Amino acid sequence: MKIQPWSEQRSTTVVVIFLIIIAYLFSLSMRYIWVAELQGVEQFRWNNELMINTNDGYFFAEGARDILAGSHEANDLSPVNEPISLLTAWLSKIFPGNFETLILYMPSIFGSLIVVPIILISRTLGQTGIGFIASLLASIAHSYYNRTMVGYYDTDMLTIVLPLFALYAIIVAITHQRNRFLIPITLVFSLNQWWYPQSYSLNSAILVITLLYALIFERKNHYFYKISLFIIIGILSLPIWIKIGIALALFAFFYYKPSLDQKWFWGLFAAIIALYFFTGGIDPIWGQLKGYLFRESVSNEGELHFYNVAQTVREAGNIPFNVFAERISGHPITFVLGVIGYIMALIAYRPLLITLPLVGLGFIAMDAGLRFTIYAVAPIAIGYAYLLLVITKPIDKQWLRYIALATLTGVAIYPNYIHIKEYMTPTVFTTKEVSTLDQLGKLSHPEDYVITWWDYGYPIRYYSDVKTLVDGGKHNGDVNYPASYVLTQPQQNAAYMARLAVEYTEHSYEDNKSAIIAEMLTKYKADSIDDIMVALRTNSASLPKATRNIYLYLPLRMMDILPTVTLFSYLDLKNPDNQLQQPFFYMTQQFQDTGNTVELGNNLAIVKEKNIIKLGNQEVPIKSFTQIGYDQNQKLQINEQHFSSEGLNIIFMGSYGRFLILDDFYLNSSYIQMFVFERYDPKLFEPVILDPLSKVYKLKI
């Protein structure tokens, strides 16, 4: 059934441009809500601008900063060759001004371009109205908004836009079947592959569905195999200029030698297919499938077995149906209607079958994690728009039909609008935290290292211009282990590991050996890290020569994830089946003093008269109680009491309004001792910055 609310004769270029502008401005205005709400919050501002709200953004910002500076340190992992960093640096030169303003607004400016291919695809099918309605819904759907909102400076700003343009190029070629429409296919696929190399799997899936389309519906139509050929060229793992050169050469051959087209085509096709497998084939696809669909809690690196970070990343886990549906369409009902409409649209407009890979990738989010829902947003929005046109077709009066369409579109948009109003995600760091990092940058050298958890790696590198052991992209078990060890072990072990990890990391760049823990064990001829620590403490072995300064960055916010941090080093590296009982740590800011007890939530309570802690039905003696807080001069005051030789320790952090219940393992950890108590071994560390929100210590060995 083909519905025509706007006949294509009336959808002139001017009308289409007008609709694109309206949809684009709508998308931008919805994204400005976050700015309007948080503009006046001073703790979210730096350098006279709101800060960005995604950790990964600081990675690309670091690259752009270094491109503009013209240099960076060796092995500092600065992404100076990343497309988004190159684009940002280029735009910064064209529009000089506040760099923070540029990276803040780029996601919304580029992300809102999603409306363009959606409307153009629909226009190509003769249904501009479908595209306009779908563009309004898709541009602000939960998952798409979340990853292209103001401040979400990341590759997602074009990760969906470019594939949709690629699909538009294919649909145009299918519709018009002219050789001149082949070159844009290679151009867009090449650009998409350059911008986001991880799209290789999606691009390959689009190639497969295009080939199937040709084999099922146009088996004898030579042109449809040309479309597939130019897709293959676009996704080859080759430099973009080589791919464009190949595409232009083939186009010229088809144009100037049409008589040889049929004769030589399949030989050329086979050659390009061979080149596809030679430059990568399905290996990258299999690697991604293993990473997302076959997650394991332990990653094996040689003979050592480390904890796998994928188990702790929320967006890489299973999600319930309601969340899945809301992230794609804003509401489960809208989603169901969108799916129904999408199926109907596939029947009515066969070229839309090319969009199936987007839907398929979006739907694997049910198992692979919520990050993939973003891919299904546009096709399901098109389905919803098509269904609206079908159900409103019986309305005879055109103006009444437009009112019905506007109302039903508004109903679908409303839950997404509410989500935007409520989704006031904070900036990555507060102004005070960034001030600490800025101060650290002035005290340190770019060759120095800062050791902390990987969540904070990118912002530290951006604001302090130093090196880090781990970050949002470098967090395999081998590097997470030493970072976790430094933060959770007593200070002497932490100091030794800090020096070992940094020096072995630097040597790994020179020797091209990435397994630093295995290297340590080999060099010290030890069976375990504990053996190395014993050797260092007894002076039967020595640390490597110090080549640079090392700092420990201990933020308050790390306290929320301290048990997770511990998982990465509290394990038997050589025997993954040896499940160690995890140490005890509990933190709460939700508590109530009833007089006789302090209720801590989750069935935990402090019984004052008995000096015990109730853990459900279990009673555990209180070993120590410590009250900590800052006085009017911001000096830390500690009041400590001891009750028993065994049991759990209680720390009440009055200035922070939180209770900690922890065993001796956590009490003696470097993080708790140095952040909470500000206690440090002067032979090993010296304080550099002692701020209530983040504390920095310098290693002295």
Alpha helix positions (H), 583-699: 664-667, 670-671
pLDDT in the model for residue 263: 67
User: Over the stretch 407-457, which tens digit does the pLDDT of each residue have?
Assistant: 999 999 999 999 999 999 999 999 999 999 999 999 999 999 999 999 999
3-state secondary structure string, 203-246? HHHHHHHHHHHHHHHCCCCHHHHHHHHHHHHHHCCCCHHHHHHH
431-567 maps to which CATH number?
3.40.1380.40
Pairing state between β 618-630 and 648-653 = parallel
Query: Would you state the pLDDT for residue 220?
Result: 85
d(CA 415, CA 667): 46
Cβ proximity of 405 and 5 under 8 Å: yes
Mean pLDDT of 586-610: 93
Q: To 10 degrees, the CA torsion angle through 170, 171, 177, 181?
A: -50
Contact present, 136 and 26 (Cβ < 8 Å):
yes
**Tens digits of residue pLDDT in 91-119:** 999 998 899 999 999 999 999 999 999 99
Domain ranges in the chain are: 13-422, 431-567, 585-699
Pick from 700, 628, 187, 137: nearest CA to 377: 137
What is the arithmetic mean of pLDDT over 153-164? Answer: 97
- For the entire predicted model, the pTM comes to 0.90
Q: What is the pLDDT of residue 310?
A: 65
Alpha helices (H) in 349-394, listed in sequence order: 356-363, 365-368, 377-391
> Tens digits of per-residue pLDDT, 449-494?
999 999 999 999 999 999 999 999 888 889 999 999 999 999 999 9
Which of 159-168, 394-403, 507-516 shows the highest mean pLDDT?
159-168
Q: Dmax of the chain from CA atoms?
A: 98
Is the model more confident about 282 or about 18?
Answer: 18
Q: Which residues, 6+ apart, have CB-to-CB distance to 267 below 8 Å?
A: none
Q: pLDDT (tens digit, 9 = 90+) per residue, 121-148?
A: 999 999 999 999 999 999 999 999 999 9
Q: Which pLDDT band holds residue 10 (cuts at 50, 70, 90)?
A: very low
Q: How confident is the model at residue 274 (pLDDT cuts 50, 70, 90)?
A: confident
Task: Specify the pLDDT at position 96.
Answer: 86
Lowest-pLDDT range of 85-89, 217-221, 251-255, 605-609:
251-255
Position 167 pLDDT exceeds 80: yes
